[in-house]
Amino acid sequence: MSIRILLIDDHTLFRSGIRLLLQRQSDFDVVGEAADGVEGIKRAKVLQPDVILLDLNMPGLSGLDTLQLLVQDLPDVAVLILTVSEEADELAQALQNGARGYLLKNIDADILTHAIRDVAAGKSVIAQDMTAKLVAQFRNQPRASSPVAVPAEHDKLTPREREIVQCLVRGESNKEIARHLDVAESTVKIHVQNVLKKLNLSSRVQVAVYAVGHGLG
């Protein structure tokens, strides 16, 4: 089945480019577009997309307010933020308001297409460049306001998995971790999956935030 996608962005040319890009994928169906948050919410309710690509910086209703209303009215829809904003505050607010992912508009096309498939499948996706900023933002918050509430399961981690966690805190990719630890990239993938399972988390970013909150980073 095709992944039904709605685009919400106030830049017409950008929307056109994204639509053309996504229409090249056989499993994508761009069902509609909207130029602002109010129109986007209305179209989302009618079209019932699987994934919404949402810009943050729009006139009128802000992207964050639009996100909050979308998640409130359509809790089963995956909202993927696609923005130029590299502000840690906006990233943290977007995640807290229910965004399934946060990407920057300067990403490669294949990263975007993979991210859409991932969020449609229930996974979380965060731009790699933003991981360190999210961790720094979390470090500056009182411990009680931690965005990730997970039981302390890190005693189950092996020494190698703890090394992997520290690499994730630094925002390293699988390839960078493999080079750093002198292991195969496939081995890193297995370790990352084991870490996610043991900590009962769903994304690398959640691991990084968890690690900082529990003194592992």
CATH of the domain at 184: 1.10.10.10
**Among residues 103, 126, 149, which one ends one of the domains?**
126
For residue 145, pLDDT beyond 60: no
- CA geometry: angle 109, 122, 142, nearest 5 deg: 95
Q: What is the reported pTM?
A: 0.68
Of all residues in the chain, what percent carry a pLDDT higher than 70? 88
| 115 CB-near residues (< 8 Å, 6+ apart) | 80, 101, 103, 125
For 26-42, write each residue's pLDDT tens digit: 999 999 999 999 999 99
79 plus 104 within the same structural domain = yes
For 111-121, write each residue's pLDDT tens digit: 999 999 989 98
69 plus 44 within the same structural domain = yes
**Among residues 91, 106, 126, which one ends one of the domains?**
126
Q: The CATH number of the domain where 51 resides is what?
A: 3.40.50.2300
**In DSSP terms, which residues pair with 6 in a beta bridge?**
32, 52
Distance, in Å, from the CA atom of 51 to the CA atom of 3, rounded to the nearest integer, reads 7
27 plus 114 within the same structural domain = yes
* Number of domains forming the structure of the chain: 2
Distance, in Å, from the CA atom of 77 to the CA atom of 88, rounded to the nearest integer, reads 24
85 plus 9 within the same structural domain = yes
Where in the sequence is the domain holding 67, given as residue range(s)? Answer: 3-126
For 55-73, write each residue's pLDDT tens digit: 998 988 889 999 999 988 9
33 plus 114 within the same structural domain = yes
CA 164 to each of CA 136, 138, 151: distance values in angstroms, whole numbers, following the listed order: 19, 20, 19
